[in-house]
Each structure stands twice: as C-alpha cells, then as structure tokens.
Structure 1
C-alpha cells in the first residue's frame, strides 16, 4: 500500500483513540466534533485509495496500526494519557494495584528511571543501603550469628575427641506497610502538553517517595547508641577499632551540611585541609588523614537535621547495616469528585491523584556502623 495511505490509516487510528478518550472523559460535545473529523479523514482515504492504490478493491477497510519496525513505545505519552483518563482502563473502570495485565497501573519503566534519577539529585539514602525487592507482604531472612571460633582441641593418641562448637543462626523479619499521599491537579494542567503533566506528576511522586524512604532509613539508624566525635582521631578509631577490617574497607561517612562544614575545617599538623576531592571522581569528597581515606556523603540539613547542636556523623557501611524491602508496586488512582479537607475536586475543577507504595526498612547489622555525633562549639 502507498506510504501516504499508510500514514492516513495511522492518523485515522489515532483519531479513533481520541474519540474514545473524549467519551470516557465525559466530553461528549468534543467527542462529536472529533467524530466528524474522523469521518472526513475516512472520506479522504476513500478518494485517495482509488487514485493511489488502483490495484485495491476501492473500499474503505478497517484501519490497522502500521508501526515502524523496532519503534520504541512512547511511555511519556502513555503516562500523560493515563493521567488524563484518571488512570482508568479502556472500559472506564478505575485501575487498581498490580500489573497492567491485571487491570492495574504501574509507572512505565522509563518514567520510573526518571524518578530514580530525581531521587539521586535530591540526596537519596536508598542508594547507600541494601535494597531487596519482594513480592510478599511479610517474610524472614536467615543470618549466621557471629561467634569467636576457638579451633580444634589437642587430642592424645587413643584419646576421645571432644565436641566442637557449631554455627548458630538468627533471623530478621520484615512486614510491608503502606505509605501514600495525594496531589491536586488542575484541569488546565491535564489539558497541557505530555511533557508538562509528566514532569509535574513524576517530580511530585519521586520527591515524596525519596523523603519517605530517607525518613525510614534514618529512623532505623537512629535506634543505635550515639558515640561522641570530637576530632579526626575519633573518626579513625571508629574506623580502625569499632568497625575493624570487616567494615572499614567499604565504609563511608554520612553527615549533613553542618557536618560537612566541620569536616571541611579539619587540618593536619602542616595546616593542610583533610577533606579532599577524590582524584578519580572529583565530585566525590574524601577525608584523608594518614593511612585513612574514607568517602563522605552529604545529606541536606532538611533531610538530616542537627538536633540541639548535635551534628550526625554516621560512619560505616550502610549496605551491611540497613536492609530495605521494596514491594515495588506503586498504584495511582484519581477522582474529580472527591473531597479531602478543604479541597473539593468537583467544585474547584480539580483531579485528585493518590499515590501509594509499600515497603519496610529494618536493621540488618548494627555492628556495621557507628552513629557519631559532633557537638557544635567544641
């Protein structure tokens, strides 16, 4: 078939989808106008087919989607269109949690990637801990307990061999809980471009998720007893002795803006600053003091506040310290008639979007880090 006819078939298909969407949104007048435009396009197809495709039968056939081979799916447009439809399926029923095949809605893969990038730009702690994706609401993980083994006992010829110690085990449990929030969107925004509506929604969802996860991780870390840090020697002791060779090679320092200021003023005997850029990764900072060289990760004061002049100085390997269980099913629902507090979606011409995600965060190994505190003024 002629290329021009193929393009027209695609346009007819797109127009049909437009009519269908308008009907689902209750915009019947606009749907009638779109239907009239669809009929014009089909008439144009009839006329051109007789001229450009004389070998055909001259009849208008049901248009079919003709997509270029290997053309990537536009997930941004899909996400924006789903938002405009209120995340409802083709039958008009509200989408529920789960995969699209089950009638649900999940954020498209490349949109999810953009959210992850946004979290990193906002100093997300999720990249520092051990994340495991799970498919059940609760479960357990088994770990072998630490024990100082004593080795074999000396046995005389013909003597009895004594029993040796055997490994002992323990479990950590998780139980997924639900975290959610809502976001009012104006009808004007829903009518705007795909890029605008997508950027607004994914930035909101991504940042709310980032803050939620940061609070969960910091809440687990805060259960550890605090250790006073007054000098670089205290940091070296935490790394060399408290954490030891099991964790020192993979440890880092996690602090806030106040902690960065304190670290950035430390000097050696020659007056040289101890905080230096990593020569391999110039944007990464490292505290270098003698044989000690440890990366520094800074979290804004807004996310990791200084409480009563106590600056957090978390030292260790958080991937060994904290385990984050991610149910990995974000569901998004919407309503244009709901009321929440002073917000009345119907009266104010809004659509209220509700995002829900499920996860849990637990202590994996409290020996993998030291929760240090620097007292300002000392």
Structure 2
C-alpha cells in the first residue's frame, strides 16, 4: 500500500474486493471535488490559488488513477472464464493433444492443427480466451469494430457519397444525376508474436492448465503491442492507427482525413471558458455518431479535464456509477488510453467519436504455437503468433481535439 500525505492513500494492491475498491474510489472523488472547489474559490477571490491546494489536487488525481487501475485489474480477474478441466469442451481430444504437445512435444495427434509455416493452432477456446483477456486490457479493442477473417487481407467497399436525388414534377423533364462514389478500404493483417518460456519441471506438473497458461502469458504482451498500433501505428508490418491519418481543420473536412477542432491556444485549453472547446468537439460529430460516441485520452489529459465545470458549477467529468463501468465526460463514456499523446504544442490529445463505426480491427482466425526446447536451455520457449490488422473504417465517425492556435 502506497501512502501519500493529507491522509490519502492509493490501494493499487487492494485485492479483488470490487465493492470496497469502488467505495474508496467514490470517496476519493468527493475529496477531489471539495479540494478543487476550494482552489477555484481562491482563484476567483485572489486571482491565484495556494500552491498547497494545487499539490493536494495532483495527489488526489494520482489516488483516483490508482483506484481506477485496481478496479480494472479486479474486474478483469473476475471476468476470466474457466478453461481446461473446468467446463464443457468443444473438442476434448484435440485439446488433450495440444496439452501433450505443449508439455512434452508430442505431435502425432495434432495433424489436423498443423500450420503451413510450422507450429500448431491452439484449441478454439484458448484462442477465444486470448481475445477476451486482450479486450479487458486493450481499450481500443473494447470500443472498436472487430471482424474475424480467414484471409490475410480484408477489403471493404464503402459508399463515400450516395447517388444524387431530387424532387421533380409529374411531367417535368429529368436531368441526369451523378452516380454514387464507392471507395475500397483495405486492412492487411500483420504478425504479432510473444515468446513465453517455461521450465520442463513446470510443464511436467499435472496441475498446470496449459491453455490458461498460454493465454495468461501472451495476452498482456499482445494487448500492449496492438493497442499502441491501433492509436499510432504507421501501417508498416502493423495496423494503421487512427492518429496516423491525415488531419484537417473540421471546417475543411473531406473523406480520407480526420477532422479536428483547435483549442485556440498552443499546448493548452483556452484560459476563458475552457470547456467550450469540448462542446464544439461534441457537436462537430454528426448526431448519428454521437449516440454511441466515446472520449479517448490518456491519464494526464484526463487529470486536467477532471477539474472543469459547466456554467452551472457541475463537474463535466463524472466517475463510473458501478465498479465495472466507465467514467464519463459530458455524459459520454471516457476511455483511458495511455498511447494518446500528452497535451503539448499542436498535440492531438483527445479523440471523440463512434469507434465501433470509425475504426475496424481485423483478426485472422487462429493462434499458432511453435514449441522450441533447444534455443534457451533449460527453458522451453513457445513462439506464439496471431495475425491482426486495423485501420479507419469511417473518417466521419472520429473527431480530434488539437491543442493549437489553429
């Protein structure tokens, strides 16, 4: 347990008592609001706040972040499904053979799972478990559109503009109209790998659930790598992130580019009515996208926005209403994504949009495991790979906040 001054504490290792963690989180947020109200009152009266209050507020921000991280871990552990030996199996014979391959290198019963490039396809429930675990810790995967494919590239036709239409009288002449414009979006998959290691003694333990062990070992590595790519990836041997798209001021938006709203101040929110730019960003998004929209930003940016109020004195940022829920900003769910840039000159630090329609993740079916008992004796290495791609699906469904003059 890490303690900080002012009687506040962060319980990052508080275990899996979700109700208790949520209660502590709610208490910390109430203290945050009281402290920030006091700070704002001093600024209104004297034009500046006591530095001690600023310091306490930053510590409270850290407390809130710590409690939120603990809640996320506890929720992920509670949501983890049982695997080997703990439920019905879709293909028990193949699963048993896969376990024999991982533990002892036996291959004869695995011919139905032979991959063309060597190694073996993990049982279906293990593959599903890996995806489920990654969803818990990969924020973009949790809100984006996801499609499973059997090929290496997914191509998707999309109508950029529909056919021209118009009203006409019963006997009036009909002029020729423009036809619709169709574009093709392509999502190539790239190989993502992890290489967990185990000793022979560990693998010989009859109690070891090899499917769960593989999933536990690779999911964090897979999730961290793919999440970064979904945000900032350049598309070379990895998915193309939404921040890698060409951006343009919202007033000049066109298909193929992401629109942004500028704060008007380099590296900061406006000093006067700072929340107005957030309202502008919300309404830059068309109504059909707003109903399922989410905010995406990192922890530091969220810490700054957490202090904002509306004209009636209500905080724009609100904590989750349940232990497994999300915080909200102006009534829309907020997703914390550490790969989003910190606030800086001309940074695109806040995204807002319907990511289910705006960003598509493609998973090629199958997770392969290649057993290597030779390269790192006495350890046995398991070269585990999956193929994943991603890219923008609708350039009108995501808008960005640019911390710049224009």
Instruction: Please give the TM-score of this superposition, normalised by the length of structure 2.
Output: 0.61
Look up the match of 1:329: 366
Give matches, 1:63-102, under 5 Å.
72-73=88-89, 80-86=99-105, 88-90=106-108, 96-97=114-115
Gaps of 5+ in 1: 1-70, 339-344
SS of structure 2 residue aligned to 1:185:
strand
In the TM superposition, what is the alpha-carbon distance from 1:90 to its structure 2 partner?
A: 2.3
Distance change (3 Å), C-alpha of 1:272 and 1:161: closer
Look up the match of 1:255: 297
2:95, 2:303 → 1: CA distance? 41
SS of structure 2 residue aligned to 1:327:
strand
Verify the 8 A CA contact 1:131 1:325 in the aligned structure 2: yes
Verify the 8 A CA contact 1:278 1:286 in the aligned structure 2: yes
2:124, 2:403 → 1: CA distance? 42
Verify the 8 A CA contact 2:164 2:179 in the aligned structure 1: no
Look up the match of 2:198: 185
Verify the 8 A CA contact 1:179 1:358 in the aligned structure 2: yes
Verify the 8 A CA contact 1:255 1:311 in the aligned structure 2: no
2:131, 2:362 → 1: CA distance? 16
Please give the per-residue CA displacement for 1:179-201, whole angstroms capped at 9, x wherever unaligned: 22322222222123544655442
Look up the match of 1:17: none
SS of structure 1 residue aligned to 2:384:
strand
Please give the per-residue CA displacement for 1:131-175, whole angstroms capped at 9, x wherever unaligned: 1111122342111122595623457x5x53212333221111232
1:94, 1:186 → 2: CA distance? 27
2:199, 2:135 → 1: CA distance? 28
Look up the match of 1:18: none
1:235 has 2:278 as partner: yes
Distance change (3 Å), C-alpha of 1:275 and 1:76: farther
Look up the match of 1:245: 287
Look up the match of 1:367: 396
1:283, 1:359 → 2: CA distance? 27
Please give the per-residue CA displacement for 1:241-291, whole angstroms capped at 9, x wherever unaligned: x21213111111011111221221111234331212455887322223xxx
**1:312 pairs with one of 328, 349, 352:** 349
SS of structure 2 residue aligned to 1:335:
strand
Deviates more, 1:76-85 or 1:202-211: 76-85
Look up the match of 1:138: 153
In the TM superposition, what is the alpha-carbon distance from 1:127 to its structure 2 partner?
A: 2.0
Distance change (3 Å), C-alpha of 1:161 and 1:150: closer
Instruction: Please give the TM-score of this superposition, normalised by the length of structure 1.
Output: 0.65
Verify the 8 A CA contact 1:254 1:315 in the aligned structure 2: yes
**2:186 pairs with one of 153, 173, 176:** 173
Distance change (3 Å), C-alpha of 1:273 and 1:160: closer
Verify the 8 A CA contact 2:121 2:367 in the aligned structure 1: yes
2:302, 2:201 → 1: CA distance? 43
Q: What is the root-mean-square deviation of aligned Cα atoms in Å?
A: 3.3
Verify the 8 A CA contact 1:322 1:361 in the aligned structure 2: yes
1:136, 1:84 → 2: CA distance? 30
In the TM superposition, what is the alpha-carbon distance from 1:79 to its structure 2 partner?
A: 5.4
Larger Cα-atom Rg? 1
1:83, 1:324 → 2: CA distance? 29
1:118, 1:287 → 2: CA distance? 26
Verify the 8 A CA contact 2:316 2:329 in the aligned structure 1: yes
Residue correspondences, number: 284
Verify the 8 A CA contact 2:126 2:212 in the aligned structure 1: no
Gaps of 5+ in 2: 1-86, 234-240, 248-259, 264-268
